[in-house]
Each structure stands twice: as C-alpha cells, then as structure tokens.
Structure 1
Amino acid sequence: MNRQLFSLVFVVILLLLDVYIFQLVKTLTISSSESTRKTIHFIYWGINALTLGGIVVYNFFPADQIPYTFRQFLLTWAFMLYISKIFGALFLIIDDVIRLFTWVYYKINPSITPEISDVVGTTAQNTEEIKEGANKIPRSEFLMKAGVVAMATPLVTLSWGIVSGAHDYTVRKKTIVLPNLPKAFDGIKMVQISDVHSGSFFNKKAVEGGIDLIMKQKPDVILFTGDLVNNMAKEMKDYQDIFSKLKAPMGVYSTLGNHDYGDYVQWESPAAKRKNLEDLKATHGRMGWKLLMNEHHFLETNNEKIALIGIENWGAKGNFARHGDLEKAYKGSEDAPVKILLSHDPSHWDAQVNGSKAKLYTDYYDKMNIQKRAFKDIDLTLAGHTHGMQFGIDTEVFKWSPVKYMYEQWADLYKHENQYLYVNRGFGYLGYPGRIGILPEITVLELKSA
C-alpha cells in the first residue's frame, strides 16, 4: 500500500472515530439552547476537518515542501487529539454495551414495564421509547461526563509533558568499577548524551541550558551515541553553534544512530541521500566531534591508554539498519586493558557484544560472512535509542515504560557477567515533543579501578 492510499485509509478510520465521539458531544449538549448546540457542533467538526485535512496535506506533499513548524504542530496536535478520543471512546463503548443489554432484556420480556431508574440517564418522557429499539435508549449522562474527563486527562497530561518535561534535563551519575582500568584513568569522568533529534527542537534557549548543564559536570571526555537528527543534516543548522560548545580535555566522540542515515524520508535520488549523510558527517567535524565509523580510538594519559570503539548503527530488534561492523572497529584494540564501545542500539549488546543471544542471529552472520562470536573483553557499552519511550515511571525503586516489552535493556545500567551496558534515556525527543515520567538525560559515568 503506497503512502497516499494508506493516508486516505487512516483518515477514514479517524473520521469514523470522530463520528463516534460526536455521540458524546450530542448527549452533553442536548439540554443546551439550539444556538449553543449548533456552535459547539460547528467547533467540534471544524477542528476535526482542519486536523484531518492537515494529515492529508502532510502525506500528499513532499516533507521538504511543508514548513517544519506546521509539520511539528500538526503531528503533535493530531497525536494528542486522537489519543484523547480513544480514551473517551472507551466510555461510549461501555454505554453502548449497557444499552444493548437493556434493549435485549426488554425485547425478551415485553410485558415488563421498565422503571425510570432501570436505565441510567432516562427520563419520564423517554422511558416508553426504550421498547422501540436500542437507538431510542438514552445514553448515560454519567458515562458521557466520565468520557469527557477521560479525554481531558491525556490531553492535559500530554500538554504538561511538552511544557514541563521536554527540556527538564536530569543528570544521572553512576560509578562503575573496572578492575583492569589503568591507574592513570582512575576516576575519569565520562559524560554521555544520546538521541539529540535536533529536528524536533522548538525551544533554543532551553537546549542551550542543557548544554550548559553538561559543561557544569566538568567531563574529562564526552561521548555521543547517535541520532543527531531526525532525518536531514540541515536540521542541525540552527543548533550547530550550540552543540559546538561541548568541549572536554580528552575530546568529544560520537557515532551514528538509525535516524542519521535519512532512511525515513523520501529522497529525490540515491545520490541526494548519500550527500545528506556526508553533510551530517561533516557537521560532526565542524562541531569538533570525532565521529567513529566502525573504528577505534585510544585515549591516552601518562603513557597508559584505553580504547574507545565506535560502530555505526546495528539493531537486533525490528527492521533497524545494520551498518555496524564491530569486527572491523575492534581490530587493533585487542591489547587495550579497557575497551568502551559506543553502539546506538542496546539490542546489539546481547546479540554480539556479550553474545548471550547471538544464536538468534545466525542467519545474519552467515549472510554477511561474519564470524559469530562474542566480544567478551569489551568492558562497557554505551547506547541510547529507546528514549524510554518518553513515557513511564522512573524512580530509584521502580522503573516501567511500554518500551520494556520490546527492549530488555531500555534505561540505566545493566550487567552481564563482567560486562556493563548503560542505556541513556536521550537528550531530545521524537514525534511527541515532550516527556512524561522519563526525563531527558545527561549521564555522568565515573570509572574506578578495583
């Protein structure tokens, strides 16, 4: 199914939801004056028409021909509006089930005259209509009001997540003991950020505040684990100078995530897509970041060294691209006493790094003619990708997000035997421009020897 046809089918489904929710609107305005009722109905259908029309325009025109601000507002508003309507629809369904059983009951027992109280929301004027058909059974005013509350709750919550959560940068500190860490690196402070998604930003000043907060941590080295943009290198145009402020004595190192390849937009030609990737690589360089493309780099101090290994995106879950070549990046770093891997997707850790689930990807290794083996001497892997789904519960004693049902490791620190994985919750946001419960993260990792 092509994009345009899918869009039309999707719009029809949303329109049916609008029609269904309209039953709730009609019930709650039935006692209003005719002019008030007509005004409310007009506003309801006007908002729906503009939203659905915007979705059609978005899908029938190339993304680069639609102003970014319009796209961002439309997608956010449509998401919030229809998520809220789904909650309201649940109460309509409950009401319809009750009405159906009421109608069936009096059809089976025609001799029984219902009391007014037998059907929630009935009045003396419409009690006799119950016997005439299900469509004559009045809707429950209580359930309709509950439906409005149910719709308002996610709408208010999601709005608050944009206003309050999108840029509420949280510094999370962890100390990791690596027995083989050279004494010269004992106490090294590494700051990790991930998933910037600059194409989603709407508050430049708030982003600057996040960068300032990173620098206040006085990092020895800064590590970025992919997804600098949503799709296009030009998304960094207004933010390149801000992120260029990230400096550290041992440098700033980065790698690519799945969004950095431009796989999720239509390009006029393969050459245009390749140029976009080259432009993005150049952006890393202009900001002073060392982009590790399936390669390693040694951090050195006092004649001792540890290895940073950076690979391109390699996803074991879903249909995410596998550009990473760990074998190539690892080669030459064997003698380093400590190895730290930058790999955007945390599912790579079980699939190839610690190898606990490597057998699930035998076909891939055979196809790529790659030796299926684990890299047991990679001490620490840093990843991002999941964002914690930007929604969940995140406390010291309990963590939950819907993303946990897809990713076993989705936020914070994990350990398998002697290997560690840290999954950063992301600096930015994608799709929904906010966060609820799972706040944007700046990770500070202090490495200690025994």
Structure 2
Amino acid sequence: MKTGLFILIAGIFCVLLNDSLLFLQIRRYFKRKICSYLFWLHSLFFVACIVWYHLFIPTLKGPEAYFWVEKCISIILLFYTPKTLYIIVNAFSILLRKAKCIPAARIVNRLALGIALASFIVILNGITWYRYNYKIERETVCIKTLPDAFNDFRIVQLTDLHLGSYGEHYPGITKLVDEVNRLNPDLIVFTGDMVNSFASEMTPWIETLKKLKAKYGKYATTGNHDYGTYVKWPSKTDQENNLKQFFKNMKRADFTMLNNTNVPLVIAKDTLYLAGVENWGLPPFPCFGKLAQALEGTDGYPVILLSHDPSHWRHEVLNYPVDLMLAGHTHAMQLGITIGSFRWSPAVYVYPEYNGLYTANGQQLYVSRGVGYLGFAGRIGQRPEITLIKLTNNCK
C-alpha cells in the first residue's frame, strides 16, 4: 500500500513539474486565456489517469493487470518523453535569447520542436504497427560434428511471446503463425516466457499457436515468467496449479516441453540431440535448470540446448559439450538503434550476449530479441524477431 501511495504521489508530482516547466517555456505563445485553460485541462487529465490507475490496477488479480499497466506506461511515455526532450533542448534556446543571440535561439527552438515531434512519432510507431512488424533473422550455424543428414536443417526459434500483454483482437499472433509457416521449418523451438504469469493468458491463443507446423515437431522450455513467481497467489497450491495448467496449455498447443530433458532427432541413421532446461537464472530470477540431467545420454552426439537466459551460457553451459545454445530473455530491452549492420541497445550493459550469434571455445550461442513485449507495450528500434537458423557442417 505504501509503495502504491508513493507511486501515486511521485507520478502526480512528475506530471505537474513537467507541465509547469513546459508552460513557463511556451506561455508566450498563448495569446488567449482559453489556451492556458486547455493546457492545464490536459495536464489534469493525466493527473486523473494516474489517480485512476492507482485505484483501478490493484483491483485486477488476473492477466488484464499486465495489459492495463503496459498501456498506461506507454501512454505516459508517448506524451511526456517529447515534452521532457523539448524542455531540456529548449532551455538552451532560452539562455541564448537572454544572451541576445536571437538567430541561434530560434534555431535551437526549432530543433527542440523537431526532436519532440520525432520522438512522439517514433514512440507512437513503436506501440502500434512496429510491435508486430516481425523481422526474419536468418543465421547459418556451422557445427563441425553435424551429421550429413542434418545439413541445411532449418530451425525456427521463437521466444518471449508474453501473451498476457495483448488484447483479444491483437493481430500479431495470427501474423506470427503465418510468417513462421511460410518459412516451412523442419523444427520449431520456443525458448521461454510464453506468458507473463498466468496460464490463462494462453487460452485465447491456443488454437492459433496450434497451427504452427514443423516437420520434426515443436519443442519448448520455460522462462522466468512462466512460473507465476511475479504474482502474489492466495496459496502455494494455487501457484502450483497455475504451472500445471500452463504445461497442459502448452501440450494443447502441440508443444513438447523439455524440462531438464532431451530428445533425439533422427534422420535416416543420423542423430542430433535437442536438450532443454527449465529456467536457469541469476538472482532474482528463478533457477530450476539442471543441465547435467538435461544432457544425460547425449555423449558423442551434437547437441542443441534450449535455455531461456543467455547468462547460463558463460556461467555453466561452456563447461559442457553443447554445440549450440538458443536463448531469449533480454528483449534487447525493446529499445535500441539498428542501422545496416550496426546494432546497439542498452541491453549490452546488462547482458554481454543480448542479441545475435556469439562464439567461445568452439561453442555457439544465439540470443533472440523475442517476438513480444513486456512493461512498455511496444518496441523502438528493435523489431520483434523470428529467427531462422540453418545448420551446416561445411565450416569455412
């Protein structure tokens, strides 16, 4: 309760402070009092939204809580990021004006307007069309010990769908299924965080996800969110039942869970092992992964490992005979810059391996930035990803 009250007071304070600073900077443009009244009316609207959020969100006990939280966060960012950028940049214009550098002040003022407008457009795009503007990342991965029968074997990796983040009319899931099936993969793997916390988040989408097709099946492992550990449950039994229902829903969607287990993929007389661990994470994330158990019986065969968190690779996986690990988790923070081959995201300061293919000690890791979102209901500069991996033993 204290935390909620603090967020309420801090939110109202930030809105009023931001709008007060903005008003002081632009009030000279208001020729009529009605303009000032409209400005403060719009400010009071956001204050009312924060109060409504404070009163309404705690009453939600199911998946819809995530949906509304993310929508509120996104709307606040949409309007107050441009305002804040304008206030900061335009402050230099004011200083220049006081220094009698009028031409320079005008240029900086226009620059402030341009930056504010551009940020509004970028964020608006990120929370509308861009969030399901999937990019197919194609990666050829060489495994020297790969049997010839698996040359050109095609794996589609999906991760971090976070189904509770969408409304029931969200077009992205149907589009995702169509995009994946168009690739005609041999295998589909999902590397965790199908839901935000509740198994019921899958219910509207089970039949749609069931339409994902691959010649050698669909396999998945768990992510930190799939366990429901971010919810205060009435009892431990309720949380356990939620996880059991999650596994049932995954089975209904035709996914085989690899919970610290493995499965042989056989073509002709050649074998490749696909292994998967439950979520392995550093604190505060849950750690249920048992890698040694997942690799039992795979000695002498090439192994592909599904593990949600890329931190697992350096902390443990590199000490085991795993040829390729597939991970997600980072989302590339849903924020970054991609220009041609140049790619940057603040995620790099948290996860050294946050997006793309990495190699160490002759072993490889591929980290997908995922197809969904959490927290902020969109993506900026980091398109949702469908990964198509082609295996080869022709290592140049």
Q: Do the structures match in fold with TM over 0.5?
A: yes
Query: Offset at 1:273?
Result: 0.9
Counterpart CA distance in 2 for 1:163 and 1:85 is 20
Counterpart CA distance in 2 for 1:148 and 1:7 is 34
1:338 is matched with 302
**Partner deviation per Cα, 1:2-42 (whole Å, 9 max, x = no partner):** xx212222232232222322232244234421233223222
RMSD between aligned residues: 2.6
1:282 is matched with 248
Counterpart CA distance in 2 for 1:150 and 1:56 is 31
Counterpart CA distance in 1 for 2:127 and 2:335 is 12
SS at match of 1:438: coil
Counterpart CA distance in 1 for 2:17 and 2:109 is 12
2:16 is matched with 19
SS at match of 1:90: helix
1:414 is matched with 358
1:61 is matched with 59
| Structure-2 change in CA distance of 1:403 and 1:197 (3 Å) | same
Deviates more, 1:199-208 or 1:379-388: 199-208
SS at match of 1:389: helix
Structure 2: unaligned runs, 5 residues or longer: none
One of 206, 211, 214 as aligned partner of 1:248: 214
Query: Offset at 1:83?
Result: 3.5
Query: Offset at 1:187?
Result: 1.6
**Partner deviation per Cα, 1:173-207 (whole Å, 9 max, x = no partner):** 11112111112212211111111111112453332
| Structure-2 change in CA distance of 1:66 and 1:235 (3 Å) | closer
Counterpart CA distance in 2 for 1:388 and 1:19 is 32
| Structure-2 change in CA distance of 1:398 and 1:228 (3 Å) | same
1:36 is matched with 35
| Structure-2 change in CA distance of 1:95 and 1:160 (3 Å) | same
- Counterpart contact for 1:17–1:85, Cα < 8 Å: no
1:79-228 → structure 2 map (5 Å cutoff): 79-91=77-89, 118=99, 150-202=115-167, 203-228=169-194
| Structure-2 change in CA distance of 1:348 and 1:409 (3 Å) | same
Query: Offset at 1:169?
Result: 1.0
- Counterpart contact for 1:24–1:144, Cα < 8 Å: no
1:423 is matched with 367
**Partner deviation per Cα, 1:231-256 (whole Å, 9 max, x = no partner):** 11111111111110112121100000
Deviates more, 1:408-417 or 1:431-440: 431-440
2:203 is matched with 237
**Partner deviation per Cα, 1:376-431 (whole Å, 9 max, x = no partner):** x2100000111111111234421100101100001111111210101111011112
- Counterpart contact for 2:259–2:277, Cα < 8 Å: yes
| Structure-2 change in CA distance of 1:85 and 1:10 (3 Å) | farther
| Structure-2 change in CA distance of 1:344 and 1:158 (3 Å) | same
Query: Offset at 1:322?
Result: 0.8
One of 378, 388, 393 as aligned partner of 1:444: 388
2:7 is matched with 10
Amino acid at match of 2:287: R
Counterpart CA distance in 1 for 2:374 and 2:365 is 23
- Counterpart contact for 1:254–1:289, Cα < 8 Å: yes
- Counterpart contact for 1:54–1:74, Cα < 8 Å: no
- Counterpart contact for 1:313–1:324, Cα < 8 Å: yes
1:40-51 → structure 2 map (5 Å cutoff): 40-45=39-44, 47-51=45-49
| Structure-2 change in CA distance of 1:67 and 1:194 (3 Å) | closer
Counterpart CA distance in 2 for 1:64 and 1:285 is 22
- Counterpart contact for 1:28–1:144, Cα < 8 Å: no
Amino acid at match of 1:333: T
SS at match of 1:10: helix
Deviates more, 1:170-179 or 1:54-63: 54-63
Counterpart CA distance in 2 for 1:69 and 1:410 is 25
Counterpart CA distance in 1 for 2:134 and 2:265 is 28
**Partner deviation per Cα, 1:138-181 (whole Å, 9 max, x = no partner):** xx998777656554443321111122211111111111121111
Counterpart CA distance in 2 for 1:88 and 1:447 is 49
Aligned-residue sequence identity (percent) comes to 30
2:75 is matched with 77
**Partner deviation per Cα, 1:260-308 (whole Å, 9 max, x = no partner):** 1111122121111111111111111111111011111111121221111
1:402 is matched with 346
| Structure-2 change in CA distance of 1:13 and 1:67 (3 Å) | closer
- Counterpart contact for 2:15–2:47, Cα < 8 Å: no
Structure 1: unaligned runs, 5 residues or longer: 100-115, 122-139, 355-373
| Structure-2 change in CA distance of 1:35 and 1:78 (3 Å) | closer
SS at match of 2:322: coil
SS at match of 1:227: coil
Counterpart CA distance in 1 for 2:393 and 2:231 is 46
Query: Offset at 1:226?
Result: 0.5
| Structure-2 change in CA distance of 1:66 and 1:303 (3 Å) | closer
1:262 aligns with 2:228: yes
Query: Offset at 1:119?
Result: 6.4
Amino acid at match of 2:17: Y
| Structure-2 change in CA distance of 1:19 and 1:149 (3 Å) | farther
SS at match of 1:237: helix
SS at match of 1:57: helix
Counterpart CA distance in 2 for 1:399 and 1:171 is 16
